[in-house]
Structure 1
Amino acid sequence: MNTQYQQVYVWSQYLRLFHWINVLTITMLLGFGLIIFNAKTLGVSVDGKILLKTVHVLTGYVFAANLLIRVFMGFFGKGYERWHKTLPFAKGFTKELADFKQQPHKKYKGHNPLGKLMVGALLLSMCIQMISGLVIAGTDIYYPPLGQYFAKSIAVDSSKLDSIKPYSKENVDEQDYQKMRELRKPFITAHVYAFYALLCLIPLHIIGVVISERREKTALVSSMISGYKYLPTKDNLDE
């Protein structure tokens, strides 16, 4: 007997907007990050590097705002905006994962168990990038929210903070500057490793989506544009 399918609204307008803003900003951040990371090899001038870092940070603000709103919606949103339907920490997830291994062609209204694990890994990497990036922005080019604090911490004359510029030693106490650079080292390390994690996770995410689309045949790819998946009317369907 042929399975009957119905069009079901799954991904809210907000979730779809978050997803595509995330795709755009992360693509830009990874691109700028790679150029900044290899600036010396590419022969980028000091002014060019400062410009790249400035654009990187401004893009990072959009990324951070989008991510913070998503974190808020995970607690206070509706439907599949909520964390208990998105992340692999809800009660019964272990059983859900075991069932998935036994029934790999089972249809899911939301994410399948592997999808939830991927979402968790991506969100963790993005949160590390956001926090470490804001610290680096404050210690490197003295941008908000921590730029003023770090500029004041290294200033010879705190009444002339405007004179403290990236890659300039004007009004900078050398010892305090070195202390600041030591403080930021673990954040640099976290930022780099989270960067590498995203470079690995994003292709795996895309491959996983393609495999799930071919296996489940629920219009998973187009649903992130329309919000609708095609799901069985009764049997072999899970939340």
Structure 2
Amino acid sequence: MLLNAINMATIAPLRKDIDHPGEIKKHSGPVRLWHWLNLLVITGSLLTVLLNSTLFDVKSNTSYVQQQLQESGVSVTAQQAKSVAHGLEDQVWAIHIYFGYALAALFLFRLIAEFYQPGRQRFFSSLKDAYQTYRSRSQKSTLALHDLTVKSLYLCFYLLLAIMAITGLLMAFDQELGISKATSHSIKDFHGFCMYLILIFIAVHIIGVLLAERKESKGIVSDMINGGKA
């Protein structure tokens, strides 16, 4: 029973407030703006990673560049071709860095917006309320566990965004901050690991929203567009 409840909470967000069943959860303009802009920025950032791991992969492009130049009558060494391939990859990474700046700016925007949210719409207030509701119902309410687990997952997502923004900025300004190459490489590995966790969260979130739209929480997507007016 507990395992089924956790699974349900993991994939299906609630549209209505548990403590106020007749009310649909509201989403302020700044939070909705952040949500959709964040979606665009994360998508763009992931696309640059995908491009550099496929079309602009240095290893595969080195031989391609060398071959194309040789067919044009230009003879280059493998190292010279590799430098060209690296240059192409760096151009895409430059775009990735700009997406990283945007992600950091949006995260700061979300933190500031939190202070101006109406009381019940503040994330940490809603997380606290979900925990108190779960405790007050003697920890036996599947719906309360559902809500608490979903909000806890969102908290993990916010923490991952913070980590991605901080580690990304550390890599972008490693020379200015005096970070060694070894440390920068470790930061890069951790940054990449967190990216996979975010991908998992996004996949679970999308599946959960689709399932919620087919069940009792139909309209949850439109709520994130119109603010939960209906």
With the length of structure 2 as denominator, give the TM-score of the two structures: 0.68
Describe the shift of the 1:222–1:184 C-alpha distance in structure 2 as closer, same or farther (beyond 3 A). Answer: same
Indicate how the Cα distance of structure 1 residues 63 and 15 shifts in structure 2: closer, same or farther if over 3 A, else same: same
CA 1:30–1:96 in 2, change beyond 3 Å: closer, same or farther? farther
The 1:103–1:131 alpha-carbon spacing in structure 2 relative to 1, beyond 3 Å, is closer
Give TM-score, length-normalised by structure 1. Answer: 0.66
Q: Is the Cα contact below 8 Å between 1:133 and 1:191 reproduced in 2? A: yes
Cα displacement (A) at 1:17: 0.3
Matching residue of 1:185 = 185
* Shift, 1:59, TM fit: 1.4
Please give the alpha-carbon distance, in whole angstroms, between the structure 2 residues aligned to 1:183 and 1:132. Answer: 11
**CA gap 1:100/1:186 in 2 versus in 1, 3 angstroms:** farther
Aligned counterpart for 1:24 among listed residues 33, 36, 40: 40
Query: SS state of the match for residue 180, structure 2?
Result: helix
**Offset of 1:55 from its aligned partner?**
0.7
**Paired residues of 1:7 and 1:229 also in contact (CA < 8 A):** no
- Equivalent position amino acid for 1:56 in 2: H
Please tell me whether the aligned partners of residues 209 and 221 of structure 2 are also in contact (alpha carbons under 8 angstroms). yes
CA distance in 1, matches of 2:100, 2:61: 24
Partner of 2:142: 101
SS of 1:43's equivalent?
A: helix
Question: What is the aligned partner in structure 1 of residue 164 from structure 2?
Answer: 129
RMSD: 3.1
Question: Which residue number corresponds to residue 59 of structure 1?
Answer: 99
Q: Percent identity?
A: 26
Q: How many residues align?
A: 185
Structure of greater relative contact order (alpha carbons < 8 Å, 6+ residues apart): 2
Aligned to 1:119: 154
* Cα distance in 2, alignment partners of residues 58 and 188 from structure 1: 16
SS at match of 2:155: helix
* Deviation, structure 1 residue 225: 0.7
- Mapped to 1, the partners of 2:136 and 2:93 lie a distance apart of 44
After superposing the two structures, state which structure 1 stretch, 29-38 or 124-133, moved more: 29-38
Query: Paired residue for 1:40?
Result: 58
Going from structure 1 to structure 2, the CA distance change for 1:205 and 1:182 (only over 3 Å counts) comes to: same
User: How far did residue 25 of structure 1 move?
Assistant: 0.1
Mark the runs of 5 or more structure 2 residues left unpaired by the alignment. Answer: 1-20, 63-84
After superposition, where does 1:71-86 map in structure 2 within 5 Å? Answer: 71-79=111-119, 81-86=121-126
How much does 1:190 deviate?
Answer: 1.6
Once the two structures are TM-superposed, the CA of residue 52 in structure 1 deviates from its matched residue by 0.9
Partner of 2:204: 204
* Structure 2 counterpart of 1:186, one-letter code: S
Is residue 216 of structure 1 aligned with residue 216 of structure 2?
A: yes
- Residue 215 of structure 1 aligns to which amino acid in structure 2? K
**What is the CA deviation profile of residues 22-52 of structure 1, one whole-angstrom value per residue up to 9, with x for unaligned ones?**
0000001111123334522552712211211
